Amino acid sequence: MTSSTIAEVLSIIEEEYDETLAAWFRTQRQEGVRRPDLFSNAEAENQLGQLLRAFVDGARRADLDRPINLEDEAWTLLRDTLREVTKNRLERGVSPTEMTTMVLALKHPLYTRLRKRLAGDPDRLVEEITQLSRAMDAFAMQINEDFLAERDQIIERQRQEMMELSTPVVQLWERVLTIPLIGTLDSARAQEVMENLLNSIVEHRAEVVIVDITGVRVVDTQVAQHLLRTAAAVRLMGAEAIISGISPKIAQTMVELGVDVGEVTTRPSIRAALRDAFVKVGFEIRRTDDSRA
């Protein structure tokens, strides 16, 4: 035998298409991965049929002597179909194990038929089974890859959304901005905060920006460095930064850490910072009713 082949497998699928499909269904049911709660018979049948046809298409084109790589041109149809079916099933809550088991369930009906057809030719039987196993394993791994890629995308999207949500720049008054920081301030977020803030300074022609850290859980040397850098960049732009929301505890920590804020104005509350900001931009807040003291 010169080249690896699964000719017999392919002819089984072609000649006994309906039977194979039905047997595949049965195995899935036995393995408990049919999920009739999520997919109607017609829909599942349609998906499996697509996969089966794509498999035949790929196996015809691919050179089975080489490692099976679904990224190859030959497997395009199967890869896309697999990806689509995986995505569709994951969205409905099918676990990756169930999805993999569902595809691998095709092995059993094909093995049974191969054994019947190639009973008199054990060498060929082994060869076909080996090649079919290789291909099926590659599909299973591809499903896991797709699953992970899909998850990664979701995580990345959520991370970005969180990043945007967590750095809103708010205009408090004419030429006065504030950015209330909440949660943790790592390098990536610090960069985002700085970018947003500097662009808003240009946009609003702001002269004072209040960086409020009331909601920042931990202030260590690194967070302090990020804050001071932001303040330095704000100053370079020609505006003034006030860091507010320094709790007594944070003040103690910062001194213990030896953080030197230099010229940067710091205030315990956003209220104290706002008063400074009004003075700087030339406004004044007055009580209009003395009886309400």
Give least dist CB 175 to another protein, A: 9
168: which 2 tokens?
Answer: 């809103």
N- to C-terminal Cα distance for the chain? Answer: 101
DSSP alpha helix (H) spans, 5-72:
7-15, 17-31, 41-61
Q: How many angstroms separate the CA atoms of 62 and 59, rounded?
A: 5
- Taking the least distance from each CB to another protein, the nearer of 99 and 169 is 169
99: which 2 tokens?
Answer: 């999805």
Contact 180, 214 (CB under 8 A): yes
CA dihedral sign, ordered 56, 62, 68, 73: negative
Q: How many angstroms separate the CA atoms of 38 and 95, rounded?
A: 12
SS3 (DSSP) at 238: coil
- Taking the least distance from each CB to another protein, the nearer of 34 and 175 is 175
User: What is the DSSP-derived secondary structure letter of residue 125?
Assistant: H
- Taking the least distance from each CB to another protein, the nearer of 32 and 282 is 282
Give least dist CB 284 to another protein, A: 18
- Taking the least distance from each CB to another protein, the nearer of 36 and 262 is 262
Q: Which residues contribute to the site for another protein (CB under 8 A)?
A: 194-195, 198-199, 201-202, 205-207, 229, 232-239, 262-263
- Taking the least distance from each CB to another protein, the nearer of 118 and 237 is 237
Give least dist CB 28 to another protein, A: 56
- Taking the least distance from each CB to another protein, the nearer of 241 and 273 is 241
Give least dist CB 228 to another protein, A: 9
Q: Which of 216, 212, 207 is nearest to 269 (CA)?
A: 212
SS3 (DSSP) at 40: coil
- Taking the least distance from each CB to another protein, the nearer of 212 and 240 is 240
Give least dist CB 263 to another protein, A: 8
Give least dist CB 203 to another protein, A: 10
284: which 2 tokens?
Answer: 């004044």
Residue 125 CA: distances (Å) to CA of 109, 150, 232: 14, 37, 74
Give least dist CB 233 to another protein, A: 4
SS3 (DSSP) at 79: helix
